Amino acid sequence: MIIVTGGAGFIGSNIVAALEARGETEVVVCDSLGDGDKWRNIAKRDLMGILPSESLFDFLEGQRGTIDIVFHMGAISATTATDADLVISNNVNFSLKLWEWCVLAEARFIYASSAATFGDGSAGFDDDESIDGLRNLRPLNLYGWSKHVLDRRIARLCAEGQPTPPQWAGLKFFNVFGPNEYHKGPMRSVAHQLHEQIAAGDPVRLFRSHHPDYEDGGQMRDFVSVDDCVDVMMWLFDQPDVSGLFNLGTGTARSFTDLAHAVYVAMGAAPKIEFIDTPEAIRDKYQYFTQANMAKLRDAGCEHAFRPLEESVGDYVRDFLDQDDPYR
């Protein structure tokens, strides 16, 4: 049996779709669906069960010995979150409890970390899982800090020789985009937001640069398709001997202007870009450059070829965003 927490969310629902495509029939989703359209992310899936988070551990205890792996994608993922107690309860304490259960049940554990743990990037973008390496990072927001707390705790447990799940992997996702992100509101990828603006006949709006080293629209991110991310996770699923903390990006930074042009090309429209001030509430926490160092994942044996931005954006626009049914 396979558990996917956050399985109705963006990355989680794409994992569930990939598992179904592989012929896995015992997949259980743990998530909060609420009263919106989040349920549509898993509406096409053949699932063994759907659980709210408060029922998860009772379910796990009843299935001890039958669960092979937990993909833990569930979290409060809004970078604008301000309730620290709630974020720590969900992103740290719940995650550590799940880690401990996987240790005792000998179930594999793959969890979502984030590139937000790197902060402004001044300490680099290496997926160093050592205690000293992690100590140097300074996340800029509560969400990134919560993921960093979890990474550091797991690093400490490993360094002390404490028991671990038979396989564990933390994945520092960079700027992920792709189908089934529609419920995320303002946390949707910029690719999706730009498509919405263009489809409405509006010019796209990008943040103006407030940094002397970057021109307007020249801020850079490691944009990565959710399809590439899921392919890497399926590789990990097939490699039970591989454990560690890994970056998950393409290894290539591209500008927001590049992204906008890719969306315009995919939609067959002429570019028209306007620049707006970065909101003051996030201006001092804004990352101007992110780029995953992918050497560690490559050294672990992963040979997955990440697709160029233009190709992956084009597929997203044509196969999903421009369709009447955009859900995977």
Query: What are the strands, taking DSSP E only, across the chain?
Result: 2-5, 27-30, 49-51, 69-72, 108-114, 168-173, 175-177, 204-207, 220-221, 223-225, 244-248, 254-255, 273-276
Strand, helix or coil at 221?
strand
Q: Where are the alpha helices (DSSP H) in 10-81?
A: 10-21, 56-62
User: Is 147 labeled as catalytic in the residue annotation?
Assistant: no
Cβ contact 266:317 at 8 Å: yes
Residue in 111, 143, 182, 316 annotated catalytic: 143
- Rounded distance, CA 86 to CA 64, Å? 28
3-class DSSP string for 127-180: CCCCHHHHHCCCCCCHHHHHHHHHHHHHHHHHHCCCCCCCCEEEEEECEEECCC
Residue in 184, 214, 288, 327 annotated catalytic: 184
User: Is 184 labeled as catalytic in the residue annotation?
Assistant: yes
The CA-CA-CA angle for residues 37, 146, 50, to 5°, reads 35
Within 13 Å and on the Cβ side, how many CA atoms surround 119? 12
Interaxial angle between packed helices 94-105 and 142-159, expressed in degrees from 0 to 180 and rounded to the nearest 10:
30
Catalytic sites, residue numbers:
143, 184
